Amino acid sequence: MIKKIKFPIIVFMLCSISLLTLVKIKRQDQINTIFLREYKPTCPKGVVTVVDGGRLCNKIFEYVSVWSLSRSYGLVPYVPDSIHSALKNMFTHLRIPPLSKLNSLDRCLVPNKITLNTTIYDISNLEKTLRNMNESEEPIVLRKYIVLVDSIVPFIGELKEEFKYQPVYINIAQARLQRARTIMNGKHGNRETLFVAVHVRRTDYIGYLRRKGVTVTADINYYRHAVAWMLRKLISDSASSYNIAFILASDDKFWCKAKLLPEIQEEIQNFGNETNLGGSNVFYLGDQETPEVDLVMLSSCNHSIIAYGTYGLWSALMANGWTVVYDIEAKNNPVLVKLMNYAPIIFAKKLQKWIALS
């Protein structure tokens, strides 16, 4: 005979089970809290960062130097918030987090301004320094304005994939190039157009070079020589007929339009008609009010002619075609030039498609 269980007893049993369940949940929450507190990520070892300095392309190369070092040596990259903020408007995604993210890690001190200006490693001994740095709690801090050529060169083929420009800049830049393409087709017939970026850095940079002991800078003869070399090279390499458009951008628009552009056009005319040359023209399409668009436009060209400065240097690396650079060593004291750590010439000595002319 089955005895009936009274209703109050059932209620009591259910309440007891529920209370026990709540106690277990509460206890588990406490355990989880302890676990999270005990295993909160701590400050990573082997951090590499850089001092922020300069304008847009200085910041780009500071970022890229950190990025390339982290790739080569398994380091943990961070960049100053000011660099991250400036570049996130230029590129669609940035993999390297800002230094402020270190605040979320337990017992991790963010390198302050004093540290960023003092804990700077000698680049000449960087290879030796970095061998065991991935286990060091001391951050590697690179100096401002740095361009780590040796570190960047192995990853040049990955730059376009890693550093994708914002679509808003791409659209405007492509519209400018399309206008030039339309003019070329109207004058010389419908052919594929090869674009050659010509970046002309003058203004304050000339004064900087003079202070460094550089007395002979890139002049009109250099750009004419570079244009002639580029025309010969592109024609000799091409099995088909192309239109060739030279696209100028500069921080000295008036000098370029009044002095340089007519000289380049004359060089093109003197070159004459060649078998594989559809036609060639020069256009000034730069706009100092939109440096981001100018940078994307130059980067979108097939080949490059540059003199000096990080702006033209970065656009040439992104274009990744034939590049003519000004041979600053040819007519200046090579010892002084070497002390400058002149990046375009260093790249030209390491990259097959980079040519130094004076």
CATH of the domain at 200: 3.40.50
38 phi/psi in degrees, rounded to 5: -75, -30
Could you tell me which of 303, 326, 95 has the C-alpha nearest to residue 214?
A: 326
Q: Does residue 14 fall inside a structural domain? A: no
56 phi/psi in degrees, rounded to 5: -50, -55
Percent of the chain with pLDDT over 70: 77
- Domain end among 135, 162, 189: 162
Q: Which residues contact 327 (CB under 8 A, 6 or more apart)?
A: 345, 348, 356, 357, 358
For the CA atoms of 144, 199, 316, 303, what is the dihedral angle to 10 degrees? 180
Sign of CA dihedral 350, 347, 319, 270: negative
Residue carrying structure tokens 């994708």: 164
Under DSSP, is residue 47 helix (H, G, I), strand (E, B) or coil? Answer: strand
pLDDT category of residue 151 using cuts at 50, 70 and 90: very high
Residues 153 and 204 grouped into a single domain: no
Q: For position 132, what pLDDT does the model report?
A: 59
Could you tell me which of 321, 312, 319, 300 has the C-alpha nearest to residue 230?
A: 321
Pull the structure tokens for residue 150.
């040796």
Q: For position 175, what pLDDT does the model report?
A: 98
Q: What is the DSSP letter of 165?
A: B
Residues 105 and 243 grouped into a single domain: no
Higher pLDDT, 188 or 18: 188
The secondary element (H helix, E strand) that includes residue 356 is: strand 354-357
**Helices 310-319 and 291-299, packing angle to 10 deg:** 40
Q: Does residue 237 fall inside a structural domain? A: yes
Residues 285 and 81: their CA atoms lie apart, in Å, by 32
Rg, C-alpha atoms of the chain: 29
pLDDT category of residue 134 using cuts at 50, 70 and 90: low
Which domain covers residue 130, as residue numbers? Answer: 47-162
278 phi/psi in degrees, rounded to 5: -70, -55
Q: What is the mean pLDDT of the chain?
A: 84
Q: For position 212, what pLDDT does the model report?
A: 87
Q: Does residue 146 fall inside a structural domain? A: yes
Residues 75 and 155 grouped into a single domain: yes
Could you tell me which of 342, 355, 263 has the C-alpha nearest to residue 316?
A: 355
Q: For position 277, what pLDDT does the model report?
A: 66
Q: For position 26, what pLDDT does the model report?
A: 46
Residues 232 and 277: their CA atoms lie apart, in Å, by 10
Q: Count of domains in the chain?
A: 2
pTM: 0.83
Q: For position 43, what pLDDT does the model report?
A: 72
The secondary element (H helix, E strand) that includes residue 248 is: strand 242-250
Residues 259 and 305: their CA atoms lie apart, in Å, by 17
Residues 156 and 225 grouped into a single domain: no
Residues 137 and 134: their CA atoms lie apart, in Å, by 8
Residues 177 and 158 grouped into a single domain: no
pLDDT category of residue 53 using cuts at 50, 70 and 90: very high
pLDDT category of residue 35 using cuts at 50, 70 and 90: very low
- Under a CB-based contact definition with an 8 Å cutoff, are residues 290 and 312 in contact? no
pLDDT category of residue 172 using cuts at 50, 70 and 90: very high
Q: For position 240, what pLDDT does the model report?
A: 76
- Domain end among 96, 131, 162: 162
Residues 250 and 271: their CA atoms lie apart, in Å, by 24
Query: Does the structure show a pLDDT above 90 at 165?
Result: yes
Residues 236 and 347 grouped into a single domain: yes
Average pLDDT on 200-217 reads 91
Lowest-pLDDT range of 20-34, 147-161, 241-255: 20-34
- Domain end among 162, 196, 220: 162
Residues 3 and 347: their CA atoms lie apart, in Å, by 94
Q: For position 107, what pLDDT does the model report?
A: 59
Residues 290 and 157 grouped into a single domain: no
Q: Does residue 225 fall inside a structural domain? A: yes
Q: Does residue 297 fall inside a structural domain? A: yes
Average pLDDT on 100-113 reads 63
Pull the structure tokens for residue 227.
């244009």
Average pLDDT on 171-183 reads 98
Query: Does the structure show a pLDDT above 80 at 317?
Result: yes
Query: Does the structure show a pLDDT above 90 at 2?
Result: no
Q: Does residue 25 fall inside a structural domain? A: no
Query: Does the structure show a pLDDT above 60 at 34?
Result: no
Average pLDDT on 73-96 reads 94
Q: For position 161, what pLDDT does the model report?
A: 94
Query: Does the structure show a pLDDT above 50 at 116?
Result: no
Q: What angle do CA 349, 205, 175 make, to 5 degrees?
A: 80
Q: For position 271, what pLDDT does the model report?
A: 82
Q: What angle do CA 183, 185, 186 make, to 5 degrees?
A: 65
Q: For position 344, what pLDDT does the model report?
A: 94
Pull the structure tokens for residue 309.
């400065």
Under DSSP, is residue 111 helix (H, G, I), strand (E, B) or coil? Answer: coil
Residues 271 and 172: their CA atoms lie apart, in Å, by 32
Q: Does residue 6 fall inside a structural domain? A: no
The secondary element (H helix, E strand) that includes residue 295 is: helix 291-299
The secondary element (H helix, E strand) that includes residue 350 is: helix 343-350
252-309: pLDDT as tens digits: 999 999 999 999 999 999 887 554 567 899 999 999 999 999 999 999 999 999 999 9
Residues 221 and 116 grouped into a single domain: no
Query: Does the structure show a pLDDT above 80 at 227?
Result: yes
Q: Does residue 11 fall inside a structural domain? A: no
Residues 151 and 173 grouped into a single domain: no
